[in-house]
Each structure stands twice: as structure tokens, then as C-alpha cells.
Copies of this chain bind each other. A is one copy, B any other.
């Protein structure tokens, strides 16, 4: 709640004139062109944090505006609607999740090559799955990573068109898991059907958003170890 939402006009005009000009007021525009992008991104970050903490419906656009020092109508200069802001948060989340996932798989490839042929195919798949899981935990639980949790838990607030826009990114993200799980099933490390395995595994990871507490308990590496131990068999 900002003072500007009060039903009466504050009578501090003359008083504020005694303060240094613009000390805490609207930021002066240096480097005009980049400013808009910065403010837009500040809105995105604040929205992600608030949507995660309180939920989409329980967060008002006034809350978001106040979090970045704007007035109540100003977010609509940057985003057409509250819905559009939510979608932008989710798209940003999927973009960074896909980037982190790609990096993880490249790392796994490099790790296998470094062991120079001495690594059997099954072991390479194990490393790939480990890195996929670790990257996923990072995306969900890493510091400041509020975007994907918002996507997971506020999906219902999107309309059909918006869901379609996200679906492509989500399919791409989930598709990366399938060949890895297929290889692990072929080598006997995974016994359940691949499709259901992927759904159950991703569910187990996604639910960690509900209970993980970074201040106490396990680290993300320990979480990854536990997940690997839970889902995979010793090779036969």
C-alpha cells in the first residue's frame, strides 16, 4: 500500500520541497534507451518473487508496482495485463531452465569424453541423468530462481492461448529426458516404463519446491544423490 492509494491527498507537498530534489523520487533517466528494459526486468523479477510467495491471485499489480517503486498504474505501461506479466515470468523461467539443461548435457558429454572410451555407454547415461537432475534442482531451488516454481504452481491462471505458447518450451524441456531414460532402461538401470518414469521422476523433483529449506537439511548435491539412489538399479 503506497500513500498514493489513500482516499485523501497527502498535504506534504511543501514539506517535500525542502528535501533534496529527487533523492528518493522517480529515478532520473540516464542512458534513456536501456532504462525501459531495466525497469521491465525489475518488474519481472519482483513479480516472480511475489507470485511464488503469495500466489498469482493473491498478488495485486499494486504489490508488484510498490516492490519496484512504481505507482499503481505504471506496470501496465510495460505489460498489457496482469496475465501477460505472468506469462512473461514463465517464459523467462523456461528460457533459463532450457539454457541450464543444455549446459548440463554438454558438460556430461565432455565428462564422458575426458574418460576417453574407458566409459561404457550405460555409465555415460547415468552421468547424463545425474546432471539433468542436478540442473533441475538448481532451476527449482537455486537462489533467486522463482520463475519456474511460478510456472509449475500457477499454470491454472493462464488462458488457452497462453498455455499453448508455453507448451512448446515445456515439451522441449521434457523431451531431453526421454533418450537418457531409454538408454538406462536398455542397460537395466531403470525398470519402470519410460514415460511413466519421466512423469514420476519429474514429479518427485518438482514437489521439492514444497518442502526444501535451504537453511537446514540437505544440499542440492545430497538431494541429487538421494534421487539417483531411489530411481536407479545397479547394472546387471
How many residues of A are in contact with the other chain, CB < 8 A? 38
Chain B's closest residue to A202 (CB) is B207
Contacts of A208 in B (CB 8 A): 199-200, 203
A196 smallest CB distance to B (angstroms): 4
**Complex contact A226–B207 (CB within 8 A):** no
Classify the secondary structure of A's interface with B.
helix
Contacts of A12 in B (CB 8 A): none
Known: A153-B153, A207-B206, A207-B207. A230 touches B57 (CB 8 A): no
The reply on A223 being an interface residue by CB < 8 A is: yes
Contacts of A193 in B (CB 8 A): 226
The reply on A4 being an interface residue by CB < 8 A is: no
A186–B201 CA distance with the chains assembled, in angstroms: 23
A197–B153 CA distance with the chains assembled, in angstroms: 23
A72 smallest CB distance to B (angstroms): 20
Contacts of A233 in B (CB 8 A): 233-234
The reply on A76 being an interface residue by CB < 8 A is: no
**Complex contact B57–A191 (CB within 8 A):** no
Known: A196-B218, A203-B203, A204-B204. A191 touches B54 (CB 8 A): no
The reply on A107 being an interface residue by CB < 8 A is: no
Contacts of A230 in B (CB 8 A): 190-192, 196-197, 200-201, 231
A121–B187 CA distance with the chains assembled, in angstroms: 30
**Complex contact A157–B203 (CB within 8 A):** no
